[in-house]
Amino acid sequence: MNPLSWLGIRRRGLSPAQQQRLDALPAPQPLDDTPLDDCRFVVVDLETSGLNVNRDRILSVGAVVIENSLIDLGSQYECTLYQENHRVTESVLIHGIAPSAVADGVAPADALLDFMDFAGTCIFVAFHAAFDHRMLQRGLRDELRHRLRHRFVDVAELAPMLCPAGGRRQSLDEWQQHFKVVNQQRHHAAADALATAELMLILLSLARREKLETLADLDSRLRHWRRLRQARIGAM
C-alpha cells in the first residue's frame, strides 16, 4: 500500500486508474523462513539502451515464474517499452530490438505497472542482478515515483557458491554451457529469463542438498560466502 494514498496525494503524471493500480501492488516477499519450495521466484531479464544505469533506459522486460520448484510456462511476462527519442546505438547489435519495435512499445508507466502486478509477492532472480535491480529501481522511480523494495537473488553469485567445481565461470553463457542449458535466443529478454530460470532450478536443487531449506538459510549462506570471497580478495 502506498503511504501517500492515505493523504489523498496522487503522484504527478499518473492517471487515477494508474494510481489505483500502484496503490494495490502487493508487498514484497521478505527473506524469512519461507521454504524455498513455497517461494514465488520471478526470474527477470532486462534489455536496455546501454549499460549506464544513470542514463540508459529499459527497452524490454522478460520474466518467468518459478513456483513449487517448477517453471510455470503458463506464467510469463514479455513487453517492449516505448521510449521517446530512442536512438540507435551499438546495443541494437546485441539485443536486436529495432527502433520500430520501441516506437510501437507500451508506455513505460503502464508496462512497469503490468510487470510489478505480474511479479506480485516474490523474490526477483537475475543474472548479474545488480544491473537489473538498479535499472528497474530507476525505471519505477522515474515513471511511477515508486520505491522498489523487492529483494533480488543473483544467479551469478549462487552458481559459484553452490557449484565451486564450475571454476572461474562468470558469464551466463559459461554457466549455461556448464549445466548444459540451451538458449536459442541469447540477448532476448524472455529467452534469457527462461535460461536463467533453468539455472535457478538446478541451483535450488543443489541448495537443498546442502540443507538450505528456507529463504533465510539461502540469504545467510550468501552473506557468509561474500565475506569469505572479500577476505580472499583482500589477502591477494
Domain-embedded: residue 1: no
**9-13, 23-27, 141-145: range with lowest mean pLDDT:** 9-13
Q: Calculate the CA 97 to chain-centre distance.
A: 19
| Residue 7, domain member (yes or no) | no
pLDDT score recorded for residue 89: 67
Predicted local confidence at residue 211, as pLDDT: 97
Closest by CA position to 135, among listed 44, 58, 59: 58
For the record, the C-alpha cell of 219 comes out as 540469504
How confident is the model over 208-225, as pLDDT tens digits?
999 999 999 999 999 999
pLDDT surpasses 80 at 4: no
Measured in residues, the chain has a length of 236
Distance of CA 132 to the CA centre of its chain: 6
Residue 71 lies in a domain: yes
Q: How many domains, the chain?
A: 1
> What is the distance between the alpha carbons of residues 231 and 236, in angstroms, rounded to a whole number?
9
Dump pLDDT digits (tens) for 32-83.
999 999 999 999 999 999 889 999 999 999 999 999 999 999 999 999 999 9
SS3 46: strand
**Is 160 a member of any domain?**
yes
Query: Does the pLDDT of residue 196 top 70, yes or no?
Result: yes
Grid coordinates standing for 74? 503458463
When pLDDT is averaged across residues 74-103 and rounded to a whole number, the result is 82
Residue 57 lies in a domain: yes
Q: Which of 95, 108, 101, 190 is nearest to 143 (CA)?
A: 108
Return the exposure string of 1-39: e unless at least 16 CB atoms fall within 10 Å of the residue's CB, then b. ebeeeeeeebbeebeeebbebbeebeebbebeebebeeb
Containing 123, the helix (H) or strand (E) segment is strand 123-126
Enter the C-alpha cell of residue 221: 549462506
Distance from C-alpha of 41 to C-alpha of 43, rounded to nearest angstrom: 6
pLDDT given at position 122: 98
Predicted confidence at residue 3, as pLDDT, reads: 47
pLDDT, tens only, 152-190: 999 999 999 999 987 778 899 999 999 999 887 777 888
- CATH number of the domain that 191 lies in? 3.30.420.10
Residue bearing the bigger pLDDT, 84 or 89: 84
* Residue 188 belongs to domain spanning: 31-235
Please say whether the beta carbons of 92 and 98 come within 8 A.
yes
Q: Are 155 and 66 in contact (CB under 8 A)?
A: no
What is the predicted pLDDT for the residue at 143?
Answer: 96
- What one-character DSSP code corresponds to residue 61? E
- How large a percentage of the chain has pLDDT more than 70? 90
In a domain, 21, yes or no: no
Residue 205 lies in a domain: yes
